[in-house]
Structure formats: C-alpha cells, structure tokens
C-alpha cells in the first residue's frame, strides 16, 4: 500500500560511487584540519604580536595592565585597615 508512495529506489550514485584517489583523501582529511589549526593559531597570536607583547613561555607579566584600578590615586578605596568609626553599617554609629 505504502510502496507506491515511498521511493524505494537507491539514489543515483550511491550504488556505484566514484573512486576517491589517495591525494584527494589526504588533502581533505589532513589539509582542512591543518588549515583550521593554523587559522585559529594566527587569530590568537597576531593581536599580541601587533601590540608588541612577547609570546615566549615564562615571559614576565606586563606592568601596564589595569586589573584593579590605579594604585595610590585619589579614587582608590581605603582598605580594611581604615578606622572602624568612619564607616556606617548595621551596627555603625552616625
């Protein structure tokens, strides 16, 4: 009943596929992953090299990185060694 509705023939080219030569197989299976690896590596390293940073292992950290804000500036927050009576809070006195 459903045999007339469903195409049961094998698609063209599946029963007799073309032969793949070894050079084409090596280029596809080895060349594409190699190109992806090189492309990703370039995307990672080129911005650092353009900025003039060293990419050698064990290179010292850059001193000009701003991770926690300026040190010793006017906008720096006081640390925990500040006087307790200067602060408010749940048990603070105003």
- In terms of residues, how long is the chain? 94
Within a domain: residue 40? yes
What's the number of domains the chain is made of? 1
Q: Please calculate the CA angle 44-66-56 and round it to the nearest 5 degrees.
A: 40
Within a domain: residue 38? yes
pLDDT for 19 = 87
C-alpha–C-alpha distance, residues 92 and 94, integer Å = 6
Tokens of 4: 């007339």
Q: How do residues 21-58 score in pLDDT, each as one tens digit?
A: 999 999 999 999 999 999 999 999 998 889 888 777 87
Domain coverage including residue 45: 20-54
Q: Please calculate the CA angle 33-34-36 and round it to the nearest 5 degrees.
A: 65
C-alpha–C-alpha distance, residues 23 and 52, integer Å = 40
What's the whole-number average pLDDT of the chain? Answer: 75
Within a domain: residue 46? yes
């Amino acid at each position: 009943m459903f045999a007339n509705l469903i195409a049961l023939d094998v698609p063209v080219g599946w029963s007799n596929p073309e032969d793949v030569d070894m050079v084409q197989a090596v280029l596809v299976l080895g060349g594409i992953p190699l190109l992806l690896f090189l492309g990703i590596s370039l995307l990672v390293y080129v911005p650092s090299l353009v900025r003039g940073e060293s990419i050698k292992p064990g290179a010292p950290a850059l001193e000009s990185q701003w991770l926690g804000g300026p040190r010793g500036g006017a906008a720096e927050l006081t640390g925990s060694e500040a006087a307790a009576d200067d602060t408010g809070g749940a048990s603070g006195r105003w």
